[in-house]
């Protein structure tokens, strides 16, 4: 959507022809319908709308994060390279917002030239993505846009090219100079962030080895993690025939920061519920998961016990809900047969022993 809007803005400023703009808009709409058509037919427009937009709007308080302004980590002189890298990484979202503001001023100076205006519109779309959750993943699209937009805006500001004397900023070289310095400084800081990250990985690389699992496709992880995954996948594939289901549990069901749906891919086994990832800490989701487990009776479950799974964060999702009915059900009906690193393999309690009571959280 953001790309289509950027293309429309660039085309409107380049041709100023309503006919070409309408042809472009119609083509973009047709391409969108072609892409989403199968989903619209299979699930219906209401479901597609809800999954793409409605759920995000309703549950935004569970996923959003505060914008990073106050760094409270260490900044030690003896560890300046590492701590400095962390500080710079913390403030990347702020640098991106400032960079987009400088780029917007540069677009104005260039009298809304088509190529830079289109990139600016794309940048605004990426900004909305960033502010929804200002972490590394959500910062990357805007970082890529500014890597192109800032240099394009910077060049004419430095040489004074493409300047119109009648433009409000055209005769004020001091303003152009300020914009040029700001753009150059922001580019330098963003470049330093990338260099420090890649340099750290080059100088002090983390040990990694390929996961010896067919579905992993050569993915590399720390050696201990690789061995744990390999043992877990082997055990699950022994217990569950091809085409069967498993269920991946978080460390605790009342506080779930992230899950691990990748285990369904690695084991090549299905999920009996209709969601690989959601707000499991709510009662409705837990009871739906229990209903699916009772209905499908998967021969094995995996509980991912990595502390990252339940690490609190400053939003509604980061607060314990106090609801542990799923953990209680699993504790009463399943028992652990293997533990590999952060992966516990659980199987149904034998029928001769019957359901048992046990702790809700391992």
Report the alpha-carbon angle 10-12-13, nearest 5.
65
Q: Is residue 142 part of a domain?
A: yes
Is the same domain home to 249 and 194?
Answer: no
Q: How many domains does the chain have?
A: 2
| pLDDT on residue 323 | 96
pTM of the predicted protein model: 0.80
Q: Is residue 19 very low, low, confident or very high in pLDDT (cuts 50, 70, 90)?
A: confident
Question: Quick one: pLDDT at residue 205?
Answer: 83
Domain membership of residue 359 (yes or no) is no
In the structure encoding, which two tokens stand for residue 31, read together? 């391409």
pLDDT at position 158: 62
Q: Are residues 56 and 180 in the same domain?
A: yes
Domain for residue 354, yes or no? no
Q: Is residue 130 part of a domain?
A: yes
From the list 231, 347, 354, 337, the residue with the least C-alpha distance to 298 is: 347
Q: Is the pLDDT of residue 230 over 80?
A: yes
Residue 39 to residue 55: CA distance in whole angstroms: 16
Confidence of residue 80 (pLDDT cuts 50, 70, 90): confident
Q: 278, 281, 277, 279: which is closest to 323 by C-alpha?
A: 281
List for the chain the helix, strand, coil content (%; round to 5). 60, 10, 30
Please check whether residues 69 and 189 belong to one and the same domain.
yes
Choosing from 203, 234, 253, the residue where a domain stops is 203
Q: Which string of DSSP letters, residue by residue, matches 265-282?
A: HHHT-B-SSS-SSS-TTS
Question: In the structure, what pLDDT confidence band is assigned to residue 20 with cuts at 50, 70 and 90?
Answer: confident
Note the pLDDT tens digit of each residue in 248-258. Answer: 999 999 999 99
Task: Count the neighbouring beta carbons within 10 Å of the beta carbon of residue 241.
Answer: 9
330: pLDDT strictly greater than 90: yes
Q: What is the mean pLDDT of the chain?
A: 87
Which of 168, 203, 238 terminates a domain? The answer is: 203
Q: Write out the residue range of the structural domain in which residue 10 sits.
A: 2-203
pLDDT score of 124 more than 90 = yes
The pLDDT of residue 154 is 75
């Amino acid at each position: 959507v953001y790309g289509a809007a950027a293309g429309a803005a660039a085309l409107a400023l380049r041709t100023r022809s309503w006919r070409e703009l309408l042809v472009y808009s119609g083509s973009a709409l047709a391409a969108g319908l072609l892409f989403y058509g199968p989903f619209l037919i299979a699930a219906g427009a209401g479901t597609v709308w809800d999954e793409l937009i409605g759920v995000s709007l309703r549950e935004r308080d569970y996923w959003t994060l505060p914008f990073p302004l106050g760094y409270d980590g260490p900044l030690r002189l003896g560890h300046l390279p590492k701590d400095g890298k962390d500080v710079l990484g913390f403030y990347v979202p702020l640098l991106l917002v400032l960079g987009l503001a400088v780029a917007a001023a540069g677009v104005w100076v260039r009298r809304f030239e088509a190529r830079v205006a289109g990139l600016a519109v794309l940048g605004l779309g990426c900004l909305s993505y960033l502010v929804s959750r200002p972490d590394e993943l959500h910062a990357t699209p805007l970082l890529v846009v500014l890597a192109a937009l800032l240099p394009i805006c910077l060049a004419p500001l430095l040489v004074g090219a493409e300047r119109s004397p009648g433009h409000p900023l055209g005769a004020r070289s001091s303003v152009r100079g300020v914009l040029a310095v700001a753009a150059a400084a922001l580019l330098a800081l963003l470049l330093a962030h990338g260099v420090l990250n890649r340099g750290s990985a080059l100088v002090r690389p983390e040990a990694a080895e390929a996961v010896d699992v067919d579905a992993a496709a050569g993915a590399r992880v720390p050696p201990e993690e690789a061995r744990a995954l390999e043992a877990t996948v082997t055990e699950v594939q022994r217990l569950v025939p091809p085409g069967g289901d498993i269920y991946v549990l978080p460390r605790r069901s009342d506080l779930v920061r992230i899950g691990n749906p990748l285990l369904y891919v690695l084991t090549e086994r299905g999920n009996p519920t209709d969601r690989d990832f959601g707000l499991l800490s709510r009662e409705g989701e837990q009871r739906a998961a229990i209903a699916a487990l009772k209905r499908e009776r998967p021969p094995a479950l995996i509980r991912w016990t990595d502390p990252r799974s339940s690490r609190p964060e400053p939003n509604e999702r980061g607060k314990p809900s106090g609801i542990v009915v799923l953990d209680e059900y699993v504790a009463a009906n399943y028992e652990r047969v293997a533990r590999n690193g952060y992966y516990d393999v659980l199987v149904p309690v034998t029928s001769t022993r019957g359901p048992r009571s046990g702790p809700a959280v391992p």
